[in-house]
Structure 1
Amino acid sequence: MRTDLTGQVIFITGAAGGIGSATARRLAREGASIVVADIDKAGAERVAAELPSALAVSLDVRKAADAERAVEATLERFGRIDVLVNNAGVNTFKDRVDIDAFPEEEWHRVVSIDLDGLYVVSRAVVRPMIERGRGRIVNIASVVGVTAMRLQSAFVAAKAGVIHLTRSMALELGPKGILVNSLAPGSVLTEGTKKLFYGEDGTFRAQMAGFMQHVPLGRPADVEEIAEGILFLCEPSNSYMTGHLLMVDGGWTAGFMF
């Protein structure tokens, strides 16, 4: 997809790796200035150094003070924020167990980042957008927010919350000139999923091989394919879509293969 994002300032959380860094690179190729925000400041700086116009900021999405500082730094450098991509998120890797055994501390860790963190950052970023009377927000949800899976109750609940929060934000912010949409990736080939599902020693490698038989495209997405979906939601002429959930899942939720 080709578009022109020249002059756009795009703030991406969790941008030091995975989907976030792929999105930063993809949007930068279309001329956008990128704010690379991540709790991993060194990683954010590495990604920012690759881009023609970028700012790396340290951001723990759970901390309102971090979000305010990151927004202030962005406004000082670029003067505005046109698009927020709420990408920062985590999932459960070692504690994949049923709800009765799911650790309380793991529940709070996942929800505090995946759902609470999205609220914290959105609240900080949307204020200058409202002052300008325009903006865009793209919230990264997950296919499991629509079609639940076992053994990851916190992640499932948080991502379902992201989808419905997106709709609420669209209702509130649309009259103020701000479009809010969400994107739900299916399984994506990242360093984390390689260790869990797709690597030679992946914990759930055998189960995932069977599961992929139910996905029409028969494979996980590359991070660059998810970045293309995010680019579509950022595209300036895509100006009448808000409150929408874009599925980028290889057909996972289309129906049963058998």
Structure 2
Amino acid sequence: MRVDLAGQVALVTGSAQGIGKAIADTLAANGATIVYSDRQPIAEADDIRARGHFFVPMDVSRADDITRGVEQALAAAGRIDILVNNAGIGVRAHERLPVDEFPIDAWNDLIAIDLTGVFLVSRAVIPQMRARKAGRVINIASVLGLIPMRLQSSYVAAKAGVVNLTRSMALELAADGVLVNGIAPGSTATEGWAKWIHNAKEAQDAHARLMSHIPLGRPASTQEIANGALFLAAPESSYITGHILAIDGGWTAGFARDF
């Protein structure tokens, strides 16, 4: 898929690896100037700069970090036409517990990054979009924001919040020419997924059970998720706002169990 993003500047949070990196690289390959952003160092920072892009450190759980990071991004690139709110964390295996046993600190940490971070980064970036009467915001949610899963109450709540925050933002910003959409990835073969699936026999068994519920029977590649972001960022997608694009191999269509 090719689109013309020449002259566009995109800020992608959480783009050191995984889905975020795939999205940033794909937007760059289609002509956009990218501000890569992550709370951890990025190994390719020198290469990124050599290709005419930027890297800005940013921890989306810290309001002061966001303010500083967005200011640095605007100073470096001049403006932000496309914001991809991708930064997020999941529920660690040892914290997958019923809601009445779920650790409060783990709840607070995840909500701060996965939901409040989307709000705070959007709040910092949107004013300059509204001033120009143009912009795209793409929020990365999850299928678990549409169809919950057990023992991950904080993640499910955060991603459901992202889904309706996206819709609310779309309603508020349409008159200013800013389009706001979301992506709900299903199981995706990121670096973390690869470590998990090769970690133990139990993980492989759990993965096989998960795949059995997905009609296409496999996880997405990070590139397949990035293709969705490219579609929503494309100039041709000018009449789409408030939409949540599920890229999930049919997961949310219904159970694929054999009974």
Which TM-score bucket, shorter chain as reference? over 0.9
Flag as ranges the 4+ runs of structure 1 deviating above 6 A. none
Match of residue 180 from structure 1: 180
Q: Sort the Cα spacing of 1:66 and 1:238 in 2 relative to 1 into closer, same or farther, 3 A.
A: same
- Residue 45 of structure 1: how far off its partner (Å): 2.0
Q: How many residues align?
A: 256
- Residue 43 of structure 1: how far off its partner (Å): 4.1
Distance 2:47 2:140 in 1: 20
8 Å CA contact retained: 1:139, 1:182 = yes
Match of residue 116 from structure 2: 116
- Residues 69-109 of structure 1: per-residue CA shift (max 9 Å, x gap): 22222222221110000000000113111112111100001
Give secondary structure in 1 for the equivalent of 2:182: strand
- Residues 121-154 of structure 1: per-residue CA shift (max 9 Å, x gap): 0000001111111101000000000110011110
Give secondary structure in 2 for the equivalent of 1:240: coil
Over aligned residues, Cα RMSD in angstroms? 1.5
- Residue 66 of structure 1: how far off its partner (Å): 1.6
Q: Sort the Cα spacing of 1:221 and 1:46 in 2 relative to 1 into closer, same or farther, 3 A.
A: farther
Match of residue 76 from structure 2: 77
Match of residue 168 from structure 2: 168
Give secondary structure in 2 for the equivalent of 1:241: coil
Give secondary structure in 2 for the equivalent of 1:71: helix
Match of residue 231 from structure 1: 230
Match of residue 219 from structure 1: 218
Map residues 124-143 of structure 1 onto 2, 5 A cutoff: 124-143=124-143
Match of residue 155 from structure 1: 155
Structure 1: which 5+ residue stretches go unaligned?
Answer: none
TM-score by length of 2: 0.95
Match of residue 244 from structure 1: 243
Q: Percent identity?
A: 50
Q: Sort the Cα spacing of 1:120 and 1:149 in 2 relative to 1 into closer, same or farther, 3 A.
A: same
Bigger mean CA offset, 232-241 vs 206-215: 206-215
Q: Sort the Cα spacing of 1:32 and 1:202 in 2 relative to 1 into closer, same or farther, 3 A.
A: farther
TM-score by length of 1: 0.95
- Residue 64 of structure 1: how far off its partner (Å): 2.0
- Residue 179 of structure 1: how far off its partner (Å): 0.2
Distance 1:182 1:137 in 2: 8
Structure 2: which 5+ residue stretches go unaligned?
Answer: none
Give secondary structure in 1 for the equivalent of 2:163: helix
Q: Sort the Cα spacing of 1:188 and 1:132 in 2 relative to 1 into closer, same or farther, 3 A.
A: same
